[in-house]
Structure 1
Amino acid sequence: MRQFFRSGILGVSMGIATALLPVSSVGQSIGSDKNTLPDIGVVASEVLTLDKEMLVGDAIMRQMRGQAPVIDDPVLTEYIQDLGNRLVLQAENTKFPFEFFIINNSVMNAFAFYGGHVGVHSGIITRADTESEVASVLAHEVTHVTQRHLARRALSQQRSSPLQIASMLGSILLAMANPEAGIAAMQTSTAVANQLNIDYTRSNEQEADRIGIDILYQAGFDPKAASTFFGKMAEEYRTSSRPPERLLTHPLTEKRIADARNRMRRYPDVRLRPSLSFNLAKARLLARYQFEPDYALEHFKAVVENDTFAIRDAGLYGLAIAYLANEENLKAKQINDQLLARTPGNLFYVDLATDIALAMGKADEAIAMLQKELEHKPRNSVVVLNLANAYMANDNHDAAIELIRDYLLVHPHDQLAYQLLSNAYKAQKSYKGMHQSKAELLALYGAYPNAIDELQHAYNYTGDDHLEKQRIRARIQQFRDEQEKLKQF
């Protein structure tokens, strides 16, 4: 499904975010280390309870959706969430569900913040050679969350004034998505930021390295990938202009690289086949998000001709995406049909098949294919949202609305679903539903004043439906209450 881009939506002004720009290597030693971890929950909870941490994390995530280039792609979102969940299953001290997401940024960074949110830059995936390397970064960030390093840092921040903390943390939030843009803002609060970053890294990085590596190994990945990717990131900064140290809460030091390599010796060799899903995700990011269409076509032609992708079918997939982007639909279809024949039901291929069919004006074919997939994967985001999009292309807006409304009962934070729903209501000239859907979408960005405005527009279309008027008034009050909660932080 081709991405729907939001335009000009800004989240509420929030300052409570601790960016953890990833460094790569992660780990915990084998054996009894798990049983000797410090009881960190009590001290951390003194300053930030788990309930409050989840509220703060939700507020930050809304701002990230509104301000950062979050890739709103069901196929990639499902991939990174599944990969992250494999690691979380092996982690101890998990207190809430994790949400993993991808930022469209070629810089090799990742970060974690309150409430189990972990963001990874697309550059991590496109520059990694194996799935284990990506997993090593995620395991490191998962460890920061499960060990409540962010809450511990909040405790240290009590030494500074609220104004200084808000200034510094707001700048870090900006730096998550765009490090260069964050530099100027950081300069206004460097003194407190520098001290807090030093305190944070000294007290927590060893623990994240030690524990995360064991999570990586227990989840079935190659633990040596942690040190190899560590070295890859060090080389990246060695040959390019390095961001200011204050923007990196995970400084790349030779000692940390050496420690990671020494730790690897304690683990047995793990030999894994190349991951098809990882290589498909990498090809999709390159072809659809990183390269311009003409360059993507030339790049993937060369990849296929020289057989330079770890899995040939992933290179062919990238080429099919590039053909579609260059409006060579038939060539894209011929390649993708072969891929689907070899791996039926693969959602990367199913998604592309839908885009190709719609580009060729064959919505009926897409609907028939997706309805079969829906029988086996009910409420799967890739299938449902593609099917809704195909219904809309076929002017069956009622079916699209029914499908999306049912899906949102299980996935209430899916912004792409609300965008599609709003478009479907608009095509029907059902303006009440359109404004209500826009309101929910704006709320996901933390733009509550704008969301309230949309609900007030929806109210004007309710006619004599007094029950609906009451529902809208109640929802407006809920948004106002959410605004008030933010002010308490």
Structure 2
Amino acid sequence: MKRVAGMFRTSLIVLALFANGAMAQTSPLGHQKNQLPEIGVVASNAISIDRERTIGDAYMRQLRAQAPIVNDPLLEEYLQDLGNRLVTQADNVKFPFRFFWINNSDINAFAFFGGHVAVHTGLLIAADNESELASVLAHEITHVTQRHIARSIEASQNNSPLQMLSMLGGVLVSMANPEAGMAILGAGMAGAQQAAINYTRDNEKEADRIGIQMLSKSGFDPNAAGTFFGKLAERYRYKSKPPAFLLTHPLPESRIADARSRADMYAVPPQSRQVSESFALAKVRVLARYSDDVANNRDYFEKIQNHPLPAWQQAGTYGLVLLDFADEKYAQAEKTLAGLLAAQPDNLFFIDAMTDILLEQKRVDDAIALLDPMAKRMPRNRVVSLNLANALIKGRQYERAIALLKDYLLINPEHTLSYQLLADAYSESKQKMEMHQARAEFFALLSVYPKAIDELQTAYNFTGEQRLEQQRIRARIDQLREAERKLKSL
């Protein structure tokens, strides 16, 4: 309930930004100001691209603090790579996209301002192949590139502020909690409610149309959208509680049929018929590490070891390695994994698992020796860099770990796990000032500004005579206080 309440509070914050953005474009009499629109930008009168980035950043920080986000470098990299493959074929892209996992068994995905796309782990488990997963990502990417929330605001500017806030409140809360969002929509005024429903239907149709085209251009099977949607609709046809995805993305028969007919317009690329090895490994990893059904998972992994396709056979073996590791059967896990690594020495899923096994056996030097050559070939790769940094910290090579993490954070400044590792490295090496600074940045990424400021004030006490560091810390405290003030003013 705390999480739902937090999501609702976040939605109200974002609504205030929406309202400010929308109302700032009208005169007191409700007439549009005499200004030139941004050429080629959808819904620019409702909310600017810069404001959209600001809202997206604020919402993402709140989600980091309140949602069970999966901080798993392997799964992060897989999802980001998959998403980027689709984004390269999208039109009207205004900012970099960020894809992330939420550890939730519900079948759901949602997009919001600033190019953020969240995917529940339950969606990956429900998908039978990578094209099905990609079809949902393409759909959500389209919601962002077509600026559907901003267009909803623009379409609502003729409604009263109360009607607009009621409608948008339901839309935003439903992102994180569909049932709560539907309840808020139900409490809105009838006119705004009907406008929201109609506009959402139009958005969904557009997201289907453009998403299927994007899917095909990216080399995936365009039939996957209709197949996956149809499978979900059939599976939950007689359920009293459908999954979150069906609440926010209604799937009447006409929509499924339309998706299937659209797919017929595109030739199915040959590569879409191949099984993605990364998809199979990612799905198995989620089942092994982020689900509670261990007994059934072991049965499933043993079963797919006999799958006719090598990618699934390999994934089944990998899943058993992860379960053996969880059961502390390190020698058995290492022996099985050695065979997989011999066949694919650069497979990051296998490298990550072997690193964990070696570290649990206190074989830190072996772990570093495994990762060092890869770090030279793949600098700043998140899986290699973070595994190596962790191994270096355990091996008491703190300065190497710190340099590696700081280098990685230059290109990934919002990676919370990296700041946690950096704080650990500073703590173990007795660098108190730097430790508190790293912790401050971690809390700032969660919009927990009072704690971030406390950490910096503590860091200040360890500066000694370092005047430059004192100035930097004071300046950073001022920045965080301003960020906190803006958040409160909303």
User: TM (normalized to structure 2)?
Assistant: 0.86
1:59 matched residue in structure 2: 58
Aligned residue in 1 for 2:139: 140
- C-alpha distance 163-406 of structure 1, shift in aligned 2 (>3 A): farther
In the alignment, is the contact (CA less than 8 A) between 1:74 and 1:382 conserved in 2? Answer: yes
Q: Secondary structure at the match of 1:105?
A: coil
Q: How far, CA to CA, are the matches of 1:172 and 1:326 in structure 2?
A: 43
Counterparts of 1:265-280 in structure 2, within 5 Å, are 265-271=264-270, 272-280=273-281
- Are residue 256 (structure 1) and residue 252 (structure 2) matched? no
Could you say if the C-alpha distance between residues 12 and 230 of structure 1 is closer, same or farther in structure 2, counting changes exceeding 3 Å?
Answer: closer
CA distance in 2, matches of 1:196, 1:431: 56
Q: Give CA-to-partner distance per residue, 1:272-328, whole Å, 9 cap, x none.
A: 210000000000000110135555444423443677996210111111111101111
Counterpart residue number, 1:437: 438
1:428 corresponding residue in structure 2 = 429
Equivalent position SS for 1:409: helix
For 2:457, the equivalent position in structure 1 comes to 456
- 1:47 aligned counterpart, secondary structure: coil
**Cα deviation digits, residues 338-387 of structure 1 (max 9, x gap):** 11111121111111111111111111111011111001100111011000
CA contact (8 A) 1:40 1:148 kept: no
Q: Aligned residue for 1:357?
A: 358
Q: What is residue 205 of structure 2 aligned with on the other side?
A: 206
Give distance in 2, aligned partners of 1:439 and 1:77.
23
Secondary structure of the 1:120 match is strand
Gaps of 5+ in 2: 16-37
Deviation at residue 83 of structure 1 after TM alignment: 0.4
TM-score if structure 1 supplies the norm length?
Answer: 0.86
Q: In 1, distance between residues paired with 2:299 and 2:232? A: 27
Residue 375 of structure 1 aligns with which residue?
376
Task: Determine the structure 2 residue equivalent to 1:91.
Answer: 90
CA apart distance, 1:214 = 0.7
CA apart distance, 1:270: 3.3
Quote the Cα distance in structure 2 between the aligned partners of 1:199 and 1:409. 44
Q: Deviations over 1:82-131 (max 9, x none)?
A: 00111111111111111111111121111111111111111111111110
Q: 1:301 to 1:291 in 2, by over 3 A?
A: farther
Aligned partners of 2:116, 2:315: CA distance in 1, in Å? 29
SS in 2 for 1:345: coil
> Are residues 307 and 69 of structure 1, via their aligned partners in 2, closer, same or farther at CA, if it must alter by over 3 Å?
farther
| Residue pair 1:131, 1:275 contacting (<8 A) in 2 also | yes
Identity over aligned pairs, percent: 53
Q: Which residue of 2 aligns with 1:342?
A: 343
- Note the aligned Cα RMSD (angstroms): 2.9
| Residue in structure 2 matching 1:14, options 2, 10, 21 | 10
Q: Which residue of 2 aligns with 1:465?
A: 466
C-alpha distance in structure 1 between counterparts of 2:202 and 2:130, whole Å:
29
In the TM superposition, what whole-angstrom CA distance separates every residue of 1:380-400 from its partner, at most 9, and x where no partner exists?
110110001111111222221
Partner of 2:320: 319
SS in 2 for 1:45: coil
How much has 1:173 moved relative to structure 2? Answer: 5.0
Which residue pairs with 1:35 in the alignment? Answer: none
Question: Which residue of the partner structure matches residue 78 of structure 2?
Answer: 79
Contact 2:216 2:268 in 1 (8 A): no
Q: Structure 1 residues 415, 80: CA separation in 2 closer, same or farther (over 3 Å shift)?
A: same
Paired amino acid for 2:374: E
Aligned residues of 2:307 and 2:313 also touching (Cα < 8 A): no
Q: Say if 2:288 and 2:319, in contact at 8 Å, map to a contact too.
A: yes
Q: Is the 8 A contact 1:11 1:447 kept in 2?
A: no
**Measured at CA, do residues 383 and 441 of structure 1 come closer, stay the same or move farther in structure 2, by a change above 3 Å?**
same
Gaps of 5+ in 1: 1-6, 19-38
SS of 2:104's equivalent? Answer: coil
In structure 2, the residue matched to 1:155 is 154
2:35 alignment counterpart: none
Check whether the contact 1:57–1:116 (CA below 8 A) recurs between aligned residues. yes
